[in-house]
Amino acid sequence: MNYEETLDYLYNSAPLFQHIGKDAYKAGLENTYLLDEYFNHPHRQFRTIHIAGTNGKGSCSHTLAAILQSAGYKTGLYTSPHLIDFRERIRVDGIPASKEYVIDFVEKHRTFFEPLHPSFFELTTAMAFHYFAREQVDVAIIEVGLGGRMDCTNIIRPDLCIITNISFDHVQFLGNTLEKIAGEKAGIIKENIPVVIGETTPETKPVFMARAKEVNAPIYFAEEEQLLQTSCIDEEGKQIYQTVDYANLEGELGGLCQLKNTQTLLSAIRRLKQTGYQFTEENIRKGFSQVCELTGLMGRWQKLEHKPTLICDTGHNVGGISYIVEQLRHQKYEQLHIVIGMVNDKDISGVLAMLPQDAMYYFTKASVKRALPEKELQDLALQSGLHGNTYPDVKTAIAAAKKKANKNDFIFVGGSSFIVADLLKFHV
């Protein structure tokens, strides 16, 4: 098989949550342990950092990886979903795994894993751990796929656990209250391993404290440490943070959500130093200011065009969209245009109710089976006072927005990671 055929095989033989949603979800870790034993426990051959949370996992994972790379650590990075190419999920020092590796992995090991009928994420996690061991990484940043307690990444014993925040997402698997969701995320907290909690609510904090006490894990709440003091945006659009440890810390990633992420990261950096990681202030500054270049991160309040401004963001649930809506209020423009599509297992009405009514909307759908048809999205949006036309795909919707917009307007593209993915496929 060539690379494209191998991907087709993976997508069709192992259920892919990215494409079909809940039918791809497999509860339990039985397959994970069988795969791990077959590959001789590769995750034990390198150090790890484990990151869970509803929003902010990607930004925090990539920034930590950039810092560690800058400090000279050979750094693995396992994240999901991918935007353009499957290999974005598995990187070493910012470079995706090779196509040849993906092909060889499937060809050499399919006789073992086919009888197990693993999920796509189970198989991809095994592939990532095997790759990091083969490449002899010093440390790997491992992002949880869904939840935490029963996620197949949760077999690792990391140096540090991070839980960014808790919001409503994947409620059909994780529970329909913040306490239940927090309980699933808190499942990554392990015995005697420090954990940083980025953000809490009155419902979630007791859950984290109880779990940490149960397993004797040192717990740190980034909000209470207040290592981030103030922030502003400079003339080039960069975030400039004033922190307890670093003055004028420049952050490449835009968007108000990065304030919470930075606060979380500053606490995590302190914990990693206490654990024995060696990095200088220069390494930290480089990681924050060059995270996209060092790791290949895309889709976080990413500016793609000027006059009119065109920005995309992968925020896709109520928690993520709340930051985007606040960010949009801070922008200067004559008219706001929003190209939006969503998938059918999200709190669609909750998201739509938050969006500005004075924008022009372009309702569309991403090229995945889970995509909500654009007409259904338009009908739901109308109930929230949002008006606009429908378009069959992202490219058509964006072309329409750019045709209507003048140079002083603002075009935002989002609602789903898959909408951003479709945009980037023809824009990069």
Mean model confidence pLDDT for the chain: 92
> What is the average per-residue pLDDT within 398-403?
97
- Cβ pair 243, 237 in contact under 8 A: no
- Cβ pair 346, 316 in contact under 8 A: yes
Lowest mean pLDDT among 193-197, 217-221, 226-230: 226-230
Q: Is the pLDDT of residue 229 over 50?
A: yes
Q: How confident is the model over 345-356, as pLDDT tens digits? A: 767 999 999 999
Q: How confident is the model over 68-105, as pLDDT tens digits? A: 999 999 999 999 989 999 999 999 999 999 999 999 99
The two beta strands, 239-243 and 410-414, are: unpaired
Q: Which domains does the chain have, with CATH numbers?
A: 3-295 (3.40.1190.10), 302-427 (3.90.190.20)
Most confident of 171-175, 207-211, 314-318: 207-211
Q: Is the pLDDT of residue 17 over 60?
A: no
- Cβ pair 195, 219 in contact under 8 A: yes
Q: How confident is the model over 354-369, as pLDDT tens digits? A: 999 999 999 999 998 8
The answer to whether the bond into 81 is cis (omega within 30° of 0) is: yes
In sequence order, the 6+-apart residues with CB closer than 8 A to the CB of 123 are 10, 14, 35, 113
The answer to whether the bond into 356 is cis (omega within 30° of 0) is: no
Indicate the helix (H) or strand (E) that contains 318: helix 318-329
Q: In the chain, pLDDT over 70 holds for what percent of residues?
A: 94
Lowest mean pLDDT among 19-33, 151-165, 324-338, 395-409: 19-33
> What is the average per-residue pLDDT within 170-184?
74
d(CA 374, CA 392): 7
75: helix, coil or strand?
strand
Q: Is the pLDDT of residue 174 over 80?
A: no
More confident position, 75 or 145: 75
DSSP-assigned states of every residue in 116-173: G---HHHHHHHHHHHHHHHTT-SEEEEE-SSSSTT-GGGG---SEEEE----S--HHH
pLDDT-derived band at 198 (thresholds 50, 70, 90) equals very high
Q: In the chain, pLDDT over 90 holds for what percent of residues?
A: 79
d(CA 261, CA 359): 28
Q: Is the pLDDT of residue 110 over 70?
A: yes
**Per-residue pLDDT at 428:** 63
